[in-house]
Structure 1
Amino acid sequence: MTPLLAIRGLRKQFGARALLDIDALDIGPASAYALTGINGAGKSTLLRILAGLEPAHCAHLSFMGQAMPLTPYPPALRAAIVYVHQHPAMFATSVADNIGYGLRARGVARNDRQRQVEEAMAWAGVSHLRERKTQTLSGGEKQRIALARARILKPRLLLLDEPSSNLDGAAREQVIALIPSLIAQGSSVVMACHDRDLIALPAVQRLKLMDGRLAAR
């Protein structure tokens, strides 16, 4: 099976220090991965590179079987890859506007956009927050809104940076409960995480980073 994303010779330097030195990374289509490793291993850096938020050297990259550069970051990757930060940024507008932002930027017609936003809010369990301003929300509510905002774009590859981090109790459980349906919708999902409940989800494969390198699982 052709990988969705195949990378060879990925290098990221900070001065004389090698932050990442990855010989090979293959992300399969409609596959899920837990990217693990201690703090400082390079998990977030790798996700940010894949999302085009940080530059890095890459000897070879192919996406859906097509070779392309990593730098400058290709429009094809920007359209197909969505990144959700550990502390997601929110626009100072309503929850519904935040979730629909990506569709609006892509020129989706208003009626279609509203329908999809309603579906996404129901999926994330935030329909009751529709008109709330995002600055009034809890961390767990913001994370669920960020996941809905990502899901609505139907990305080929979804990158989640510690999606359940800094959440306790019910908020953590609500976020974790959304992940299986993200995987089931057909996107490939890579989660940087420490959470054992995320790592143990069905169909999730493990990628382990040690000192910037992918180690045997």
Structure 2
Amino acid sequence: MSALLTVRGLSRRHGERLLFDIDELRLEAASAYVLTGANGVGKSTLLRALAGLERVEAGQVEFEGKPLALHPYPKALRQAIVYVHQHPIMFSTSVFHNIAYGLLARGEAKARVAPLVEEAMAWAGVTYLADTDPARLSGGEKQRVALARARVLQPRLLLLDEPTANLDGAAREQVIALIPTLMEKGSTVVMACHDRDLIGLPGVRRLKLRDGRLEYRPIKGDIDETP
């Protein structure tokens, strides 16, 4: 399987503290990963760095075999990588326009945007919320809208930061059920999480941040979060 994104010599400091120093991060095309590790080790920072939202030091960067730099953040990565925050920010318009925003910002014709948004809403099970003010959404509904907003952009790499955190019962199960279908669309998915059910999804590989290093691990169904 070919590499989608490879970053060598990836490091980040907070003052004098070294948060992580990763020799090589390699993400395969059309694959899924869970990123685990104790709280505070830098999981969210790593995802945000890959999305161009955090400044990090990086040596060699390759995207689909082509060399790039992370700074300034290149257009090729901006179009290919989508990051979904643990607490998604919604615009005070409607669910439909929240999902459509990225496509419109890219200059897509409105006639093309509408059917794409409708398909994404159906996929996420939020069609009934199309005209709803996002301020009225539950936590689970917001997360599904955020996933639809990401999916409609057809990202090559989708970065999910704790997608099931603070969700209980049916809301959590609905979000978990959407993850395998993202993989089926050909996206590479990386999920920072502690959720045993996400970690145990079939075919998902495990990455673990420990002592500033990145370990590639097989899925064993257990979560060892010791530093």
Structure 2 length as normaliser, TM-score? Answer: 0.94
1:39 corresponds in structure 2 to 39
Deviations 1:189-213 (A, max 9, x none): 0000100100111111000111221
> Number of matched residues?
217
What is the letter of the counterpart of residue 35 of structure 1?
Answer: L
Q: How does 1:122-201 map to 2 (within 5 A)?
A: 122-201=122-201
Matched, 1:66 2:66: yes
What is the letter of the counterpart of residue 30 of structure 1?
Answer: A
> Unaligned stretches of 5+ in structure 1?
none
What is the letter of the counterpart of residue 84 of structure 1?
Answer: V
Matched, 1:118 2:101: no
Verify the 8 A CA contact 2:35 2:206 in the aligned structure 1. yes
Deviations 1:96-136 (A, max 9, x none): 00001111111111121110111111110111111000011
- Cα distance, 1:215 vs. partner? 2.3
What SS does the aligned partner of 1:57 have?
A: coil
Verify the 8 A CA contact 1:161 1:192 in the aligned structure 2. yes
- Cα distance, 1:187 vs. partner? 0.5
What is the letter of the counterpart of residue 103 of structure 2?
Answer: L
> Unaligned stretches of 5+ in structure 2?
218-227
Deviations 1:167-188 (A, max 9, x none): 0011100100100001110000
Distance in 2 between the 1:51 and 1:192 partners?
14
What is the letter of the counterpart of residue 125 of structure 2?
Answer: G
What is the letter of the counterpart of residue 65 of structure 1?
Answer: G
Distance in 2 between the 1:212 and 1:157 partners?
23
1:78 corresponds in structure 2 to 78
Identity across matched positions, percent: 65
What is the letter of the counterpart of residue 162 of structure 1?
Answer: E
What SS does the aligned partner of 1:4 have?
A: strand
What is the letter of the counterpart of residue 94 of structure 1?
Answer: S
2:210 corresponds in structure 1 to 210
Verify the 8 A CA contact 2:36 2:207 in the aligned structure 1. yes
Matched, 1:94 2:94: yes
Distance in 2 between the 1:55 and 1:34 partners?
22
What is the letter of the counterpart of residue 9 of structure 1?
Answer: G
Structure 1 length as normaliser, TM-score? Answer: 0.98
Verify the 8 A CA contact 1:22 1:213 in the aligned structure 2. yes
Distance in 1 between the 2:174 and 2:132 partners?
19
Distance in 2 between the 1:211 and 1:145 partners?
35
Distance in 1 between the 2:133 and 2:44 partners?
28
What is the letter of the counterpart of residue 122 of structure 1?
Answer: A
What is the letter of the counterpart of residue 165 of structure 1?
Answer: A
Deviations 1:5-59 (A, max 9, x none): 0011001011111111100110000010000111112110100000000001101
Verify the 8 A CA contact 2:206 2:216 in the aligned structure 1. no
What SS does the aligned partner of 2:7 have?
A: strand
What SS does the aligned partner of 1:52 have?
A: coil
- Cα distance, 1:71 vs. partner? 1.3
